Amino acid sequence: MYLNWLILLLGAQVAFFVQHPQYLVKEPVTLVLSNRLKERLGLQILFYIAQHHYLNRDPWTLDQLVEQLGIPGEPVNRVLNLLVEEGYLVESADETPAFLPRQDIAQLRIAEVLIGIRRAGESQFLRERDLPAVAVVDEAMEAARVAREQAFEQRTLKDLVLAAEAPP
C-alpha cells in the first residue's frame, strides 16, 4: 500500500517538473526583485494585459504570463498581486483567474504606474515623509522625480500598446 502511494507521489512530482521546468533547481532559491526589476516586470505585465485588452483578445492568466516571460511564477505572481493591490489590474472570477485592466488604458499614465510600483509594500509605520528632512537629499529626490515625469510626459499605457509592432 505504501509503495503505491510512493509511486503516485513521485509520479506527480515528475509530471509537475516536466510541465514547469523553471522550478527545477539544484538548491532552493529565493528570488528577490530589485526596484528596477519590479518596475520593469510590472510595466511589461501591464503592457501585455493592456495589449490583449485593446485587441479584444483573451485576457492573460498567470501561467500564460509565466510562459511568455520565461521566468518562474513566484515573482510574476508577486508583481501581479502588487498591480491588483495598487488598483491597476482586476482579477476575474473564472476557475483559472485572468487579469484585466482596472482603469482605462488611455488614462493610465506610465509615470503614475512606476510611482505606484515603487511605493507598493511600504509600511504604514515607516514612510518617506517620516524620515528627517535633509535639504540636499530632498532636492535630489525631487529632481529625480521631475526628470522621470518629464521623460514620460503624458504617455499612457495605450501609447505603449499603439507603439508596439506585433502582439505576442
**Full set of structural domains in the chain with CATH:** 34-163 (1.10.10.10)
Contact 83, 90 (CB under 8 A): no
83 has pLDDT over 90: yes
Q: What is the reported pLDDT for 119?
A: 83
168 has pLDDT over 60: no
Nearest-CA neighbor of 110 among 149, 147, 156, 159? 156
Total-model pTM: 0.77
Residue of higher predicted confidence among 15 and 135: 135
167 has pLDDT over 60: no
152 has pLDDT over 90: no
80 burial level (CB within 10 Å; 0-12, 13-18, 19+): buried
For 31-69, the pLDDT digits (tens) are: 788 889 999 999 999 999 999 999 999 999 999 999 999
